[in-house]
Each structure stands twice: as structure tokens, then as C-alpha cells.
Amino acid sequence: MAGGTSGKMMTEADEKILECLKARQSFLIDAGAGSGKTSSLIRALDFIRGPDRTSIMGEGQRVACITFTNVAKNEIIERTEHDPLFVVSTIHDFLWASIKQFQKELKPALLAFNDSLPATSRRKHSQAELEVALETVPTIIYSDRGANFPEGRIFHDDLLGVAYFMFRDHPLLSKVVAARFPFIFVDEYQDTDPLVVTTLLDHLLKTDQPPLIGFFGDKMQSIYQGGVGELSAGHKALLVQIKKEENYRCSRAVIELLNKIRTDIQQQPAGANLPGAAGYVSLVGVDPDLDLSALAVQKARDAFGWDIEGELKVLFLTHRLIARKAGYADLWAAYNSRGGFTQDRFQSGEDPIASFFVNKVEPFILAWREGKVGRAISYLKERPIQIAGAAEKARVKEALNGLLALIDAGGTIEAVLKHLRDAQLVTLLDDLESAIAGPVAPADPGSPEAAHQAFMALLLAVPYVEVSRYRAVLENSMPFSTKHGVKGDEFKNVIVILDDAGANWNQYSFGKLLAGTDTSQSREKRTRNLLYVCCSRAKDKLIVVDLGAGAQAKIEELFGVGAVAM
């Protein structure tokens, strides 16, 4: 069968992947931007369901394909035509399915994970008290309400660690999973948590009859804070390393720029690549609340003679400006008060509270607002009370209409949460339930709990409409986006806006990157990766706009003398 490979020709990298599949050798593929990484993944899956399909299915085995997001999961399921040979799931779903039946072993694993947490963690419990509490817990469950270790409830943030201890301490588990899945593919490996990589390569791959593990991704496109990024030298040594150097997406001028941003892969145009253009425009000293894209286009026209026609996407590499322009500055400020890691997870949509609103609440609000009654009701299937009978349907309708009225009147996040709770529309996260339950005693100053209380106070006061605007940006339904919202996407023309003033200083520095003066190797790598991901979205013209003062000589080395307007 021919899955969805979008008509792309077999490449040298694809040939090497097929050789690995035939020889049962695990591999690592670094696929440059626009190189057709997903097509290579689908082609590999198609190859397996050729000669090996009957034997794999006959043995009761399956092929696992682990993704970083549900969007990627659904795309792969569609492109493999819903074939039951493939178990396509997020890493959390894959790990939970692998360990949940081993309840006897889960309690010690949860204890080990709790013991590993730093003393400053709000999730950490007294080891002795937790051990006693777990004696009366019948089942450890993976819940989307939040973590409550004494009740045997683990959350999204806990699962990877608990699974790591399960695989580390119980070699038989690795044998069971390896026997079930002779092939395991990991999509976007660079964004995978290091604990998961360790689980796969230090435990699963070292069983007597290991699975073939294939890592698909690109170390230069690592933009999530908790991702492994580049594999360690020791882990790389376990894998056949493959590079995919084609670029089907970007214009030739943009490819030339990308090959200067990174040197480990030198891409070549591989399709109907446009000639295109790539330039740098300085807007230092300009009020950031002005229309930066219009100013940049005008300056590029004046300096380079460019005409930007058709689709134009504006990418902000830091969240400060996009939050202001999209209308959720207060929401951003609340998260910004918590510092780098929490702020980064907010930007990517990974923060548990932000994810709750975006994935649990916003879908039925949006559907009801659009008059899609059936769809809205379908999102409420996990509601504590089933929607059955005319009276209950009327109550739900009244509650949803009241919810929209509350939001449209400027209701705060706190008011919306209380409405959701009182109408029993959705089960709240424990953290949110506690926050709206009533006054609590102030935590000790300087403690993690005090910082959390301060954050929740800011968050609850934010008008809820800002959550909807934040969701729209995450889902790419505005003319401008964040770095996380566009990964894998492509646009005819792109403006990338560098804003060091809005960057977390210890995470990114575009000025130091472009000047070649960054003394922090990790920050330089993060900043370079970020610039690479965003610049590689452009199919035709690219304008990099700098709101800071750049080093002209270094910038001209990157873009060319005739493509820099200071």
C-alpha cells in the first residue's frame, strides 16, 4: 500500500532508512527543515506493512509510532489510512499503556519518583507519609485533574518520571514492551524528554531481543524547554546516523541563509523552489506598538526594491509583543511573573493550566459560539452529570448561554471557573478548584507555595477573553504566530521579529547571536535553533526584523551586503 508521501521521490536518506529496516538496525535521522521528514516516516511505515505485515500481526505484535503532539498523531493516522498495524500515540499515552497494568510495581515507582523531586517542588510529599498513604490506595491512576500522590493520582508532568523508574527497576517490563512492539518510531525526537530517550535506549534497546528504534527529527529544531535536543554521544553510538539534506519548501535565497545559520547540514533545493529573497531590516528605536510588519515591508521595498505579494506571516520570536498585539498582555504578564520555565511552557501550550483551558474549555465555548450544538455537547462527554433528558439539556443550554454572556461582559478567569464549577460543565484541575474555593492562609514568604499563590491571584484576575485570544495564536488562526505555533508549517512570505527586550535574558539573546559574542553555549544554541526554525518557514521572501542594535559586519556575513538595511 502507498501511504501519504506527498509525491516526494525516494532520497538517499530514505534508502538508508530502508537498509536499516531490512537489517533491523536502530537509527537516528536528522532531517533539515523542509526536507520531508514526515514523508520519510510514512515511507518507512509503508515498507514495514509490506513484507512484515502478516508475521507481525500474526504474532499479535504492532508497530509503535510515538508523537510529541496530538496534531502529529492524527496526521500520521490519516496518512497511514488508519491501519490497525500501527499504534500511533503521544509519548504519555504510549508509556501509560505500557505500565498501567503493573499496579504492584507502580507504587514503588511513584515513591522513587517522589523521592527524586527537589525539596522545592510543590508536588513532593514526605516519603514516610506517602508510603503509608499508598498502602490503602487500590489503584494508581493517570488523571487529567492534577497530581495527588497520597490518593494514587499522577498527572501529565509525573508520568514520564514514574515510567522511567518502572523501566529502570523492572527489566521484565522492557522485555514485555519489546515483544509487543518489534518496531518503535519516535517522531520529533529532539522534543522528547531526556528520561524517555534514556528509557528507550538504555533499557528497551538493551533487552535480549530489542526492538528496532527509529528516531525522526532534527536537533536544530529543538525549541521546547524540556526536550532532549541533541542525543548524547553515547546514545548516538547505538544508532545508525542519517542526514536528510533536501529542502522542498524554501526559496533558494532562504536555503542559502539557512546553510549559514547551521553548518552540520548543507541543504540543497530539491523541488520547485522559488528564487526568493532573504534580508535583514533594522527597526531599532521604533515604538514596538506600531505596525512593525508594514514598516519592515516598506523599508525592504525602499532598500532592496522588493515587492511582497500574497500571503505574509509575522513570527514573533518572543511572546511579549505578540501578547500585546493579540490582546492577552495580562495573561502573559501573569505567567511572566513565574520566570523562564513556566513562561516557556505557557508559550508552547504545555503549561497544565493553560492546556486545560485550551484543550478542555475553549473547544466547547468556540463550538457553542459558532452554533455547532452537537459538537459543543460532544466536548462535554466527561461532564460529571450526563446530558440526558429534556430538563438536563435545558440546564446545559442555559449554562452555556450564561457562560458566553459572562465572557462577553468581561468576566474574569475566576468568574468563568466558578461558573464552570457551579454548572458542572467540566471537572476542574485540582489547582483551579482549590484557587476558587475561598481564602487560604498565606504561605511562608519566599516558599514555592507563596510564589504559586501570587501567580494564581494574578491569573484569576485576568479577563477570560484573553484566554480565547491566546488559544487563537497557539492554533495559528491569526496573521502572526509564536515560534511554537508554526513548527512544521510553511508560508509564502515571512517576517521574523527579533525582540531581545521581550526575551528571557538567560534563555535567548539575538543580539549576541548575530554579533557572535554570546559566551553561553547553551543560550547561543537555543537562540540559533529558534532563528533557524522561524526563518525556514518561508517559501519565497523572508525579512528578519531586529528591534535591537545589530553588529552590521556580522549581519552582512549572514545575509549579504546588499540585503541588509540598518
Cα–Cα distance measured from residue 471 to residue 478, given in angstroms and rounded to the nearest whole number: 10
Helix crossing, 390-408 with 362-369: angle to 10°?
A: 90
Cα–Cα distance measured from residue 166 to residue 99, given in angstroms and rounded to the nearest whole number: 7
Per-residue pLDDT in tens (0 to 9) along the chain, 566 residues:
444 555 567 899 999 999 999 999 999 999 999 999 999 999 999 999 887 888 899 899 999 999 988 888 999 999 999 999 999 999 999 999 999 999 999 999 999 999 999 988 888 999 999 999 999 999 999 988 888 999 999 998 899 999 999 999 999 999 999 999 999 999 999 999 999 999 999 999 999 999 999 999 999 988 777 889 999 999 999 999 999 999 999 999 999 999 999 999 999 999 899 999 999 999 998 988 888 999 999 999 999 999 888 889 888 877 778 888 889 999 999 998 887 667 778 887 888 999 999 999 999 999 999 999 889 888 887 776 777 778 888 889 999 999 999 999 999 999 999 999 999 999 999 999 999 998 888 888 888 888 889 999 999 999 999 999 999 888 876 666 655 555 568 899 999 999 877 666 567 888 899 888 999 998 899 889 989 999 999 999 999 999 887 788 899 999 999 999 98
Q: Cell numbers for 478, please give them.
A: 491569526
User: What is the per-residue pLDDT for 1?
Assistant: 40
Per residue in 387-421, pLDDT tens? 777 888 888 999 999 999 999 999 999 999 999 99
Q: Cell numbers for 179, please give them.
A: 515483544
User: What is the per-residue pLDDT for 236?
Assistant: 97
| 410 in Cβ contact with 465 (< 8 Å) | yes
| 535 in Cβ contact with 278 (< 8 Å) | yes
Domains in the chain, CATH or no CATH each? 12-96+170-244 (3.40.50.300), 106-163 (no CATH), 252-317+483-565 (3.40.50), 328-473 (no CATH)
Cα–Cα distance measured from residue 14 to residue 387, given in angstroms and rounded to the nearest whole number: 50
Sign for the pseudo-dihedral over CA of 226, 230, 236, 239: positive
Spell out the alpha helix ranges (H) of 69-144.
70-79, 91-99, 103-116, 127-134
Beta-strand pair 246-247/240-244: unpaired
Burial of 536 by CB count in 10 Å (0-12 exposed, 13-18 middle, 19+ buried)?
buried
Cα–Cα distance measured from residue 261 to residue 257, given in angstroms and rounded to the nearest whole number: 6
| 65 bridge partner residues | 88, 185
Spell out the alpha helix ranges (H) of 442-551.
448-460, 465-474, 510-515, 521-535
The residue behind cell 528564487 is: 275
Q: Cell numbers for 314, please give them.
A: 509575522
Q: Cell numbers for 300, please give them.
A: 525592504
- Which positions ≥6 away from 370 have C-beta within 8 Å? none
Considering the entire predicted model, what is its pTM? 0.88
User: What is the per-residue pLDDT for 2?
Assistant: 43
- Which positions ≥6 away from 410 have C-beta within 8 Å? 463, 465
In angstroms, how far apart are the furthest CA atoms of the chain? 74
Cα–Cα distance measured from residue 282 to residue 280, given in angstroms and rounded to the nearest whole number: 7
User: What is the per-residue pLDDT for 492?
Assistant: 94
Q: Give CA separation, 121 vs 47, 194, 254, 452, 548, in Å.
A: 46, 19, 44, 11, 37
User: What is the per-residue pLDDT for 317?
Assistant: 79
